[in-house]
Amino acid sequence: MTRLPALSLAAVPGKRRATLDVAKEIERRGFSGIYCPSFGDGLSLCLAIALETNEIHFGTSIANIYTRHANDYAQTASWIHEASGGRFVFGVGVSHGPVHGQLGITPGKPLSDMRHFVEGVRAAPRAGELPPIVLATLRRKMVELAGEIADGVVWANGSRSHIPTSLSYLPAATGERFAGNMIPTCVSDDKRAAAEVMRRTLTGYVMLPNYRNYWTEAGYEEEMTAIRSAINAGETDKLPGLMSDRWLSDVTLFGSAADVREGVEAWYDAGLTTPILVPSSTEGGQMRAFQEIFAAFE
């Protein structure tokens, strides 16, 4: 029997109550967790999930460390942790250059900024008991830092074949540590159409140098070199065509319900404790995508 993954859930204006209904349905169906990205205020959504659900584990994946003071984050994270009965995981990350630019943020060095932030959260006065802190990671140094100062790691768009190598950078754990990955997913019997949805989903990510460096390290130098050349030439329309089937199948899940279920098992076998599916659809938006995910795991 396929182990049920966690699901990524975001709320947008006008659909926030409907999003909470989806969260309750995710719990009812027995999925292993709900993880909320930074856009749309994932931390507020987590607070609502804490009050609207009873048993499911959930968390941020991720909250941007530069948008709020560590002390303020600590108060909110502790509140959610206590209100949920200890079901909350506080996933944090340094985000990406374009986001920093949009917000007028000038970050320092990611590793030292992250260390300082986690120290600040844990030193915050009158916060109460804190949830587990999980670091967003890509490459070795941040994984190693997570092994030193945090309670787990989470990737977004990680390479399944490279996950065992990445996990080897962590020290031996005495208990199960959180090891997650946000996996773009599209369920459709039209596998070609699903693959094209995944290529569109990842176009913005391949334009980010830190992701290209990660995927090069993961064994996709040829693809990333071609993508970098296209970007430098201003030919971004060519990017989807430069994403090989081999790379796409290693970073996303797409195809029939059986294909996706088999892929989830492969992600567990790679060493993840928490595969987090990020639903997309060939036929509609997030709500349609969730219906397709639900049907795939009935």
pLDDT, tens digit (0-9, with 9 covering 90-100), for 47-71: 999 999 999 999 999 999 999 999 9
Q: Would you place residue 39 in the very low, low, confident or very high pLDDT band (cuts 50, 70, 90)?
A: confident
Q: Would you place residue 174 in the very low, low, confident or very high pLDDT band (cuts 50, 70, 90)?
A: low
Rounded Cα–Cα distance for residues 4 and 138 (Å): 24
Q: Is 241 exposed, middle or buried (0-12, 13-18, 19+ CB in 10 A)?
A: exposed
Q: State mean pLDDT over 277-298.
A: 95
Q: Would you place residue 282 in the very low, low, confident or very high pLDDT band (cuts 50, 70, 90)?
A: very high
Tell me the three state secondary structure of residue 16. Answer: helix
From residue 155, give the alpha-carbon distance in Å to each of 18, 141, 163, 198. 27, 13, 9, 17
Query: Is a pLDDT exceeding 90 seen at residue 103?
Result: no
What does the block give as tokens for 281?
């659809």
Q: What is the pLDDT of residue 181?
A: 98
Q: What is the pLDDT of residue 173?
A: 72
Tens-place pLDDT, residues 118-140: 999 999 998 899 999 999 999 99
Q: What is the pLDDT of residue 1?
A: 64
Query: Is a pLDDT exceeding 90 seen at residue 146?
Result: yes
Query: Is a pLDDT exceeding 70 seen at residue 254?
Result: yes
Q: What is the pLDDT of residue 14?
A: 92
Query: Is a pLDDT exceeding 80 seen at residue 2?
Result: no
Query: Is a pLDDT exceeding 80 seen at residue 284?
Result: yes
What does pLDDT average to over the chain? Answer: 95
Q: Is the peptide bond before 62 cis (omega within 30 degrees of 0)?
A: yes
**Long-range CB contacts for residues 232-239, cutoff 8 Å, separation at least 24:** 236/203, 236/207, 239/203, 239/206, 239/207
What does the block give as tokens for 31?
């999925």
Q: Would you place residue 104 in the very low, low, confident or very high pLDDT band (cuts 50, 70, 90)?
A: confident
Q: Is the dihedral of CA 40, 41, 44, 45 positive or negative?
A: positive
From residue 275, give the alpha-carbon distance in Å to each of 30, 102, 106. 14, 30, 32
Query: Is a pLDDT exceeding 90 seen at residue 110?
Result: yes
Q: Would you place residue 175 in the very low, low, confident or very high pLDDT band (cuts 50, 70, 90)?
A: confident
Query: Is a pLDDT exceeding 80 seen at residue 97?
Result: no
Q: What is the pLDDT of residue 81?
A: 98
Tell me the three state secondary structure of residue 270. Answer: coil
CB 183 within 8 A of CB 111: no
Q: Is the dihedral of CA 289, 293, 203, 272 positive or negative?
A: positive
Enumerate the β-bridge partners of residue 89.
Answer: 59
Rounded Cα–Cα distance for residues 132 and 273 (Å): 15
Q: What is the pLDDT of residue 291?
A: 97
- pTM confidence score: 0.96
Q: What is the pLDDT of residue 109?
A: 93
Rounded Cα–Cα distance for residues 274 and 280 (Å): 19
Domains of the chain and any CATH numbers: 6-186+253-296 (3.20.20.30)
Among 13, 64, 17, CA closest to 38: 64
